[in-house]
A and B are shown apart, each in its own frame.
Chain A
Amino acid sequence: QQQVKQSPQSLIVQKGGISIINCAYENTAFDYFPWYQQFPGKGPALLIAIRPDVSEKKEGRFTISFNKSAKQFSLHIMDSQPGDSATYFCAASHTGTASKLTFGTGTRLQVTL
């Protein structure tokens, strides 16, 4: 019940295209859903996060869509750039254990010219 399932495992998108990564969770106690970006040799860096009281959150080219009834959330990267090529992780936690994130398995994004 603690799993967060992430898809696809890898993604190739042309420059300027939209990258979409999906996650699904099982634990209904989860109430915090961040997305992290990781470059080789670096630790994960927080991109954007959402709580269940909103269905969408946008920060620049990055948008999280959240569907509470379906227990799904997704990351959209608009106007994808080669510099966005990285591994993306969705995660979830609940208020009582905010630092105890359950991570998805990651999506390796490659943005081609």
Chain B
Amino acid sequence: KAGVTQTPRYLIKTRGQQVTLSCSPISGHRSVSWYQQTPGQGLQFLFEYFSETQRNKGNFPGRFSGRQFSNSRSEMNVSTLELGDSALYLCASSAGTVNSPLHFGNGTRLTVT
């Protein structure tokens, strides 16, 4: 089975711009979660989508949004980028049931200049 695929791997954007990151989950997985990883704050949960609906949300501002499509693929959007948004953004998929583990992709490295 192919793993979680995230595109692009690297992105450089300018402050004030917006960005869209993409995630293709493992085949058959209906849950997609997004995490932000930074040296200062570590790994932080952004949100989770299950069957095209946001099921859980972390403590991030409204500039961070996401969506999930009917094929379970997900996108994450960050608007009005700030320097502090520079991070590794990780997508994780799971079957979405109680005991199903998260499988992470290798992330998208976003640099905001």
**Cβ < 8 Å to B, chain A residues 36-52:** 36, 41-46, 49
The residues of A that contact B44 with a CB separation of less than 8 Å are: 103
Q: Among A36, A100, A105, A106, which residue has its beta carbon within 8 angstroms of that of B33?
A: A100
Residues A97 and B56 in contact in the complex (CB < 8 Å), given A41-B106, A42-B106: yes
- Chain B residue with Cβ nearest A91: B43
The residues of A that contact B107 with a CB separation of less than 8 Å are: 43
B98 close to chain A: CB less than 8 A:
yes
- Chain B residue with Cβ nearest A51: B99
Q: Indicate with 1 or 0, residue by residue over B87-113, a CB within 8 angstroms of chain A CB atoms.
A: 000101010101111111111000000
The residues of B that contact A69 with a CB separation of less than 8 Å are: none
Q: How large is the interface on A (under 10, 10 to 19, 20 to 34, 35 or more residues)?
A: 20 to 34
**Cβ < 8 Å to A, chain B residues 6-56:** 31, 33, 35, 42-45, 48, 55-56
B81 close to chain A: CB less than 8 A:
no
Q: Among B4, B33, B90, B105, which residue has its beta carbon within 8 angstroms of that of A99?
A: B33
In the complex the two chains form, what is the Cα distance from A91 to B104 in whole Å? 14
Q: Among A44, A101, A106, which residue has its beta carbon within 8 angstroms of that of B45?
A: A101
The residues of A that contact B102 with a CB separation of less than 8 Å are: 34, 46, 99, 101
Q: Name B residues whose Cβ lies closer than 8 Å to a Cβ of A.
A: 4, 31, 33, 35, 42-45, 48, 55-56, 58, 90, 92, 94, 96, 98-107
Q: Name A residues whose Cβ lies closer than 8 Å to a Cβ of B.
A: 34, 36, 41-46, 49, 89, 91, 95, 97-106
